[in-house]
C-alpha cells in the first residue's frame, strides 16, 4: 500500500490540490472579506511590487507629459471647440439642475445629507490581462466593506470585492464579472453594462427599437444595492442593430481611464433593499411607514386597525378590492438637457 502511495504520490498530490482549487472556485459567492492566506500574500507581495512598479509608472508619466505630445496643437484646437460647446451645454445643465432642485424640494424627495466617502490611492493593478481589478490603500479599518461602490470625479470605477484592514480589492467596471444596470441619459433607454476584460464594455439587454446613438452618455440607474443613481458609467461607442433578435448590441467606453487611475473615492454607504416583511399587507396600505414624518400616519393606521377589523367582522362578505386604474401617461416635455442641434 505504501509502495503504491509512494509511486502515485505526484498524481495524488496533483488531484488533491486541483480539487482544492475547484472547490475554491465553486464556493465563491460575490464580494467577501479576504481570508488569512490572501491577506498574508497581499501583505508580503504588495510592498515589493509597489517598489518595482512605481518607477515604471513614473517613467510612463514622463513619457506622456513630454515625449508623446506630437499633434498636440491639432488636439488643442479640437478641444477648444469642444470646450465652447461644453460650456454652452453646461449652462443648460445648470438651468436644468436648478429646475430639478425646485421640483425635488416640492416633491419632498431630495436627499438631505452628504454621501460619506473615503479617498484612497491605487497601489496595485491586476497581474492578469484577463481580469480587471485594482488594490487601494484603504481597507476595513477605514470603514470600507465588500460591495461598496468606488468612483472618481470622472465616473464609476467599480466596487469593493474584498478587504483587508489596510487595503481593498476593487473589481473594475471593465472586469467580466461586473454588471451595472444603466440607462441612456438622452432617451432613458435601459440596459446592463457588462465588462469584457478589455478596455470597453458591452451594453446588453437594450431593446432593438430603443433610440441610442454613438456618444450617448450612460448613467447608473440606481436599481440594486450597489450604485447610487446618476453616476456616469461611460459613453456609447458603437451600436449594432442586428437583423434579428430582441436586443441590439452596443459597445461602451468607460468614463474612467483605468490605466491612469491614481486616486479613487469609496462611497461608505451600502444601500439596502427592504425584505418581504418590510412591505405591509393590503389592509395596511401599499408602502411601509417610514420613521419620522410618516410615523404619525403609521400610528393613525395602527389605531384605525381594530375599527377596520370590527367592520370587516360585521359585514357578511368582504367587498372585492377596487381595481387599480392606470392613469393615461402625460405627454413628456422636451428633455431639458438635450444639447441644441
Partner 1 sequence: MSALLRLLGIGLALLLAQAVARLALPVVVQPDLVLVYALALGLRGGVQGLVLAFGAGYVEDVLCGGPPGLFALLCGTACATTRLLDRALYLRAAAPWASYVGAYALANFALFGAAQRMFAPDTAIAWSELLRRAPGAAITSALCAAPLLHLFRRLLVDADRDGSWPVLATQSPRGRP
Whether 253 and 259 have beta carbons less than 8 Å apart is answered as no
Min dist CB 213 to partner 1, Å, is: 25
Q: Is 130 exposed, middle or buried (0-12, 13-18, 19+ CB in 10 A)?
A: exposed
Whether 148 and 193 have beta carbons less than 8 Å apart is answered as no
Among 118, 122, 133, 255, binds partner 1 (CB under 8 A): 133
Subset of residues 194 to 253 that bind partner 1, contact rule: CB under 8 A: 196-198
Q: Rounded to an integer, what is the distance from CA 35 to the centroid of its chain? A: 25
* Contact between 21 and partner 1 per CB under 8 A: yes
Min dist CB 227 to partner 1, Å, is: 18
| Cα–Cα distance for residue pair 71/169, rounded to 1 Å | 37
Among 2, 128, 272, 281, binds partner 1 (CB under 8 A): 128
Cell of 36: 488569512
* Contact between 49 and partner 1 per CB under 8 A: yes
Contacts of 158 (CB under 8 A, 6+ apart): 133, 134, 149, 150, 170, 171, 172, 173, 175, 178
**Nearer to partner 1 (CB atom), residue 45 or residue 90:** 45
* Contact between 4 and partner 1 per CB under 8 A: no
Range in contact with partner 1 (rule: CB under 8 A) among 74-82, 121-129, 266-274, 281-289? 121-129
**Nearer to partner 1 (CB atom), residue 132 or residue 220:** 132
Cell of 75: 488636439
* Selection from 155, 161, 171, 156 nearest residue 139 by Cα: 161
Neighbours of 135 (CB within 10 A): 22
| Cα–Cα distance for residue pair 54/175, rounded to 1 Å | 24
**Nearer to partner 1 (CB atom), residue 40 or residue 296:** 40
Whether 234 and 255 have beta carbons less than 8 Å apart is answered as yes
Min dist CB 17 to partner 1, Å, is: 5
Range in contact with partner 1 (rule: CB under 8 A) among 49-57, 108-116, 232-240, 244-252? 49-57
* Contact between 10 and partner 1 per CB under 8 A: yes
Min dist CB 129 to partner 1, Å, is: 5
Site string for partner 1, 161-180 (x = CB under 8 A): x-------x-xx--xxx---
* Selection from 263, 228, 267 nearest residue 150 by Cα: 267
Site residues (vs partner 1, CB under 8 A)? 9-10, 13-14, 17-18, 20-26, 28, 34, 37-38, 41-42, 45, 48-49, 52-53, 56-57, 60, 124-133, 135, 161, 169, 171-172, 175-177, 196-198
Amino acid at each position: 500500500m505504501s509502495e503504491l502511495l509512494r509511486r502515485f504520490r505526484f498524481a495524488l498530490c496533483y488531484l488533491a490540490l486541483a480539487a482544492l482549487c475547484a472547490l475554491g472556485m465553486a464556493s465563491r459567492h460575490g464580494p467577501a472579506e479576504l481570508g488569512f492566506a490572501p491577506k498574508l500574500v497581499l501583505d508580503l507581495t504588495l510592498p515589493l511590487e509597489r517598489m518595482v512598479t512605481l518607477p515604471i509608472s513614473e517613467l510612463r508619466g514622463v513619457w506622456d507629459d513630454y515625449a508623446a505630445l506630437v499633434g498636440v496643437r491639432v488636439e488643442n484646437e479640437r478641444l477648444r471647440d469642444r470646450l465652447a460647446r461644453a460650456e454652452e451645454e453646461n449652462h443648460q445643465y445648470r438651468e436644468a439642475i436648478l429646475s430639478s432642485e425646485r421640483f425635488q424640494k416640492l416633491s419632498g424627495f431630495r436627499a438631505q445629507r452628504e454621501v460619506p466617502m473615503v479617498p484612497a490611492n491605487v497601489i496595485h493593478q491586476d497581474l492578469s490581462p484577463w481580469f480587471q481589478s485594482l488594490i487601494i490603500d484603504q481597507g476595513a479599518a477605514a470603514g470600507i466593506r465588500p460591495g461598496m461602490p468606488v468612483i472618481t470625479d470622472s465616473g464609476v470605477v467599480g466596487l469593493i470585492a474584498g478587504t483587508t484592514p489596510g487595503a481593498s480589492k476593487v473589481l473594475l467596471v471593465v472586469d467580466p464579472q461586473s454588471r451595472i444596470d444603466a440607462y441612456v441619459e438622452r432617451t432613458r433607454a435601459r440596459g446592463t453594462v457588462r465588462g469584457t476584460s478589455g478596455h470597453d464594455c458591452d451594453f446588453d439587454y437594450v431593446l432593438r427599437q430603443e433610440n441610442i446613438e454613438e456618444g450617448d452618455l450612460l448613467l447608473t440607474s440606481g436599481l440594486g444595492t450597489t450604485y447610487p443613481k446618476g453616476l456616469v458609467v461611460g459613453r456609447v461607442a458603437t451600436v449594432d442593430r442586428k437583423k434579428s433578435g430582441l436586443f441590439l448590441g452596443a459597445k461602451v467606453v468607460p468614463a474612467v481611464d483605468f490605466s491612469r487611475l491614481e486616486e479613487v473615492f469609496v462611497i461608505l454607504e451600502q444601500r439596502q433593499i427592504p425584505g418581504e416583511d418590510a412591505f405591509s399587507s393590503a389592509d395596511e396600505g401599499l408602502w411601509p411607514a417610514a420613521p419620522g414624518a410618516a410615523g404619525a400616519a403609521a400610528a393613525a393606521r395602527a389605531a384605525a386597525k381594530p375599527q377596520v377589523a370590527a367592520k370587516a367582522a360585521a359585514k357578511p362578505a368582504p367587498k372585492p378590492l377596487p381595481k387599480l386604474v392606470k392613469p393615461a401617461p402625460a405627454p413628456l416635455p422636451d428633455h431639458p438637457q438635450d444639447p441644441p442641434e
